[in-house]
Structure formats: C-alpha cells, structure tokens
Amino acid sequence: MYAMISDAQRNEEKMLRKYHGLVNEDMGEPDGVMISDGSGFPKKGEDPAGVSGQYCGSLGKAENCQVGVFAAYASPEGYAFSDKRLSVPEVWSDDEHPKKREKTKFPEDIAFKTKPRLAAEMFEKIMNEGIIPVRFAEADPICGGSDDFRRAAEAYPEITYFLQITSDTLCRLRQPGTGTETYRYRQENRSEKVIARGEKSPVRVDGLAKGLHDVFRYRRTVSEGSEGPVGYGSAKRQVILSRSGLPERTVRLVMERTPDRKRYRYHIGNAPPGTRLPTFVRLSGIRRAIEQCFGETKSGLGTDHCEVRKYPGRNHHMLTCMPAHFFLWHLRIRPGGKKLRSLLCHSLGYCSESFCRSGVMMRRRLSFLSGRRRSEIIGLICRIGKRKQGFIRVNFRCRVKRRHLCRPENRKALLSDHSSDEIRVSR
C-alpha cells in the first residue's frame, strides 16, 4: 500500500485536467468563485516531507506540522477542491536538510515559496487552462494582504477579487496630495514621492470600522452556523490603500461586525463602484465553502491522517482525496443511498432527528447554492424522512434536469412539481 502511494508513477497534470473537466461539467457556472486558503496537518515526528515548527491553523498555535495551500471552486451548483500545494518551510532549503530532502524524494525544482505565491501560481494555472469558468476570486487574510495574489488576480480583467485582510491594514478615505522631494545619496541626486504637508496620516481599518455609526450598517445573514444563522452588521466604503504612507490602489472596503460587537471581519474588492452591498455579503458567505471542504475531507477521507513520509506519497494522497470528495458530493444528492438523510443533514450541520421533529428551515443553510439545487437537497431529506417517520408533510416545487441527480425512473417519484416552492415540515 505504501509503495503504491509513494512510488507509483502518475501523470498528475493529466489527472488534474480530467478532474477539472468533471468539476466544470457538474458545477461550472459563469459566476463561479475560486477560493484560496491554507490548512495545517499536525505531525508528531520530523521525518515527513515539509514538516517543521510553524503555525497550524487547525490547532491555533505554532506546532510541528505540514501546511498545505489549497484552491477550491464554488458555484450555485456546489463546491469542490481544484488544486493543492505543499508549503515547504524555509529551513528545508538550507544546507542542513539535503539528506532529508533526498530521503523524502523532494523534487529538485521545489524550493521555499510564500503561501501567497503558491496561491497565485495555482490561480494563474487554473485561469490559463480555461477549463473551469471563474468570475470571482477570494482568499484568506494571508493571501489577501499580499501583493503577489492581488497582482495575479488583477492580471485578468474579467476577475473581480474579494479578499479578506487583517485589522492593521492602513487606508485613506480620500486621495491625499503628493509632491516630490529631492535628496542626495552617495554623491547622487535622487527624488522620491512624498505626502504633501498638512495631510492626515492613514488610519487602520479596525479604527475606521469601530468609529462607524450603526446607521450605516445593514444586518445581513451571511451563513448558517451550528447554533443558528450567522448574521453580521455590514457596511462598505471606498478607500485608498496605503503602503509606506503613500496611496496605492482604490478598492471597496467591506466591514462586518457580529451583533455582540466582539468580532470584526474586513474584506477588500476591486468591484465596480456601483456594486451593491448584497453582492459582497454573498461572496463573504461563499468563502465558507472551502472550510466545508477541509472539514469533510479531514473527517471523511483522512487528509490529516496521511502516514507516508515521502513527498510523492503525500502529493498522491492529496490528489486522490480531491476527486474522492467530489465523488462523495454526488453520493449526497443521489437518492437511495445508505443513510442518505443522515449524511445530508450531517453535511449541512443539522441532526436529522432535530430537523424532522423541530421543523428547522434549512434554506438559509444552503444560501450559497442555487434555488434549484437547494430544493433538490431539502426535498430528498424531507421525502426520505416522510417515508421513514410517517409524520412529515412536504409541499415544494423542484424542476430538475441534471442527469446525475437520479435515474429517470426514480425522478418522477422523488421530485414532484407542486404549487409551492416552500418547505413546510410539521407533525
């Protein structure tokens, strides 16, 4: 088994192209979103490829672990991984690790690269392939605060990015006056751009958010959590990012705050000035799709239990888990599967029994999916519950034409066309 995973030769580029074609066939939409984020995998020893003492997001602290950078694709039809990279620590590139690199069969062309650089390379590769349609690009604060990923997204005029940033990002509300200052350095006259006298200093985005009056905030439900709807008070402003005190680029700043005023989130985007706030709120909720991918692959496919030490084995393991997760997505929407109702409810964060008996409405939970796919999934859950429990009444409208949802002979029996598209669950 270990030899097959670690030493077997595979054409990874051909496998990824084939996999991207399947994702496009099933989930491809013109307004698709490409999401970049990192995930850590704790390790006990120091022999596996790329292991070092570094920050592990799953543990919330610095620990001995592997760190991977991933790209996921999300659309109204679903979500799936699209590519992966292993973040090689800088210590693995020094002179003390040649034997360890040889032992783990590290490719010679792989060297230390920052996480934003790896995310930018994956994004550029997917865009240049042209297989998966992408309209929006999202990233975590590490990639969102880097120029590498921003420049990669700005290189494609059709892409609108929506990137999460840290609270210490500096910005201005208006364009400051600038001038040129001449100075002498090593017997040479040089000049540099400076801010005009009398201009105010840039402010941090957290200070701007906390000083914003509540009248400018709009309450929006971003997604569903384990304890109910996750709502944020959202506001947007056009700001000018500042670097070294100088103005940089004009972006749309979206500030989100929880109702208890304890947590804030900040995003920047290059959307046109007329873009409305609900569009940004929808993109903020879609970013949860890659977190769903991490949780489902770690709990169901063992991405965090890879016991091989060589780089090819680790790479093959992740490459196998990506289409396996895509396959499990089909099992969740395919009727007749074993414990389908429990699988679907578990994937959506609800207990099947509590859903059936308390009448919890699940439409908001699937807010990032299209209305058609949302009705398909909820309808399957409710109909299986009706057959097993005998006390659920369901009225909904769902027209389905996707061939992978169910067989033709079962489609009419499972998905009816009634007068209402609302789900009503009662005893």
Which domain range does residue 389 map to? 335-414
Same-domain check for residues 217 and 277: no
Q: Specify if 365 maps to a domain.
A: yes
Contact 190, 182 (CB under 8 A): yes
Mean pLDDT over 212-237 rounds to 74
Q: Which stretch of 102-106, 113-117, 228-232, 362-366 has the lowest confidence by average pLDDT?
A: 362-366
Q: pLDDT band at 266, cuts 50/70/90?
A: very high
Predicted confidence at residue 317, as pLDDT, reads: 84
Cα separation, 422 vs 397, in Å, equals 8
The number of folded domains in the chain is 3
- pLDDT at residue 415 greater than cutoff 50: no
Predicted confidence at residue 358, as pLDDT, reads: 32
Place of tokens 């519950």: 385
Same-domain check for residues 18 and 109: yes
Mean pLDDT over 63-85 rounds to 90
Contact 254, 247 (CB under 8 A): no
> Which of 327, 343, 363 lies at the terminal end of a domain, its last residue?
327
Cα separation, 202 vs 245, in Å, equals 7
Same-domain check for residues 16 and 144: yes
Q: Specify if 179 maps to a domain.
A: yes
Predicted confidence at residue 395, as pLDDT, reads: 34
Strand pairing class (178-185; 246-257): unpaired
Q: Specify if 252 maps to a domain.
A: no
Same-domain check for residues 20 and 107: yes
Q: pLDDT band at 170, cuts 50/70/90?
A: very high
Q: Specify if 131 maps to a domain.
A: yes
Same-domain check for residues 174 and 161: no
Q: Specify if 420 maps to a domain.
A: no
Q: Specify if 217 maps to a domain.
A: yes
pTM of this prediction?
0.74
- For residue 97 the two structure tokens come to 């690790």
Which of 40-49, 78-87, 366-375 reaches the highest mean pLDDT? 78-87
Mean pLDDT over 129-135 rounds to 93
Count, residues in the chain: 427
Mean pLDDT over 364-381 rounds to 55
Q: Specify if 259 maps to a domain.
A: no
**Range 273-278 contact pairs with CB under 8 angstroms and sequence separation of 24 or more:** 273/238, 277/218, 277/220, 277/234, 277/235, 277/236, 278/220
Supply the mean pLDDT for the chain: 76
Mean pLDDT over 294-316 rounds to 82
- pLDDT at residue 406 greater than cutoff 50: no
Q: What is the pLDDT of residues 81-111, one digit of tens each?
A: 999 998 888 877 776 677 777 877 877 777 7
Same-domain check for residues 177 and 287: no
Contacts of 14 (CB under 8 A, 6+ apart): none
Same-domain check for residues 117 and 19: yes
Q: Which stretch of 8-12, 156-160, 242-246 has the lowest confidence by average pLDDT?
A: 8-12
Instruction: Find residue 347's DSSP bridge partners.
Output: none
Same-domain check for residues 316 and 358: no
Which of 213-227, 263-277, 304-318, 393-407 reaches the highest mean pLDDT? 263-277
Which of 236, 346, 339 is CA-nearest to residue 283? 236
> Which of 286, 301, 327 lies at the terminal end of a domain, its last residue?
327
Contact 248, 147 (CB under 8 A): no
Strand pairing class (61-75; 264-269): unpaired
Same-domain check for residues 57 and 115: yes
Cα separation, 324 vs 412, in Å, equals 29
Same-domain check for residues 276 and 146: yes
Over the Cα atoms of the chain, what is R_g?
Answer: 24
Same-domain check for residues 55 and 150: yes
Tally the C-alpha atoms within 13 A of residue 214's C-alpha that lie toward its C-beta: 6
Q: Specify if 285 maps to a domain.
A: yes
Tally the C-alpha atoms within 13 A of residue 120's C-alpha that lie toward its C-beta: 20
- For residue 44 the two structure tokens come to 């006990």
Q: Three-state secondary structure along the chain?
A: CHHHHHHCCCCHHHHHHHHHHHHHHHHCCCCCEEEEEEEEEECCCCCCCCCEEEEECCCCEEEEEEEEEEEEEEECCEEEEEEEEEECCHHHHCCCCHHHHHHCCCCCCCCCCCHHHHHHHHHHHHHHHCCCCCCEEEECHHHHCCHHHHHHHHCCCCCEEEEEECCCCEEECCCCCEEEEEEEECCEEEEEEEECCCCCCCEEHHHHHHCCCHHHCEEEEEEEECCEEEEEEEEEEEEEEEECCEEEEEEEEEEEECCCCCCEEEEEECCCCCCCHHHHHHHHHHCHHHHHHHHHHHHHCCHHHCCCCCHHHHHHHHHHHHHHHHHHHHHHHCCCCCCHHHHHHHHCCCCHHHHHHHCCCCCHHHCCCCHHHHHHHHHHHHHHHHHHHCCCCCCCECCCCCCCCCCHHHHHHHCCECCCCCCCCCC
Which of 89, 128, 137 is CA-nearest to residue 110? 89
Predicted confidence at residue 197, as pLDDT, reads: 83
Cα separation, 86 vs 88, in Å, equals 6
Same-domain check for residues 309 and 371: no
Mean pLDDT over 368-392 rounds to 50
Which of 252, 230, 406 is CA-nearest to residue 331? 406
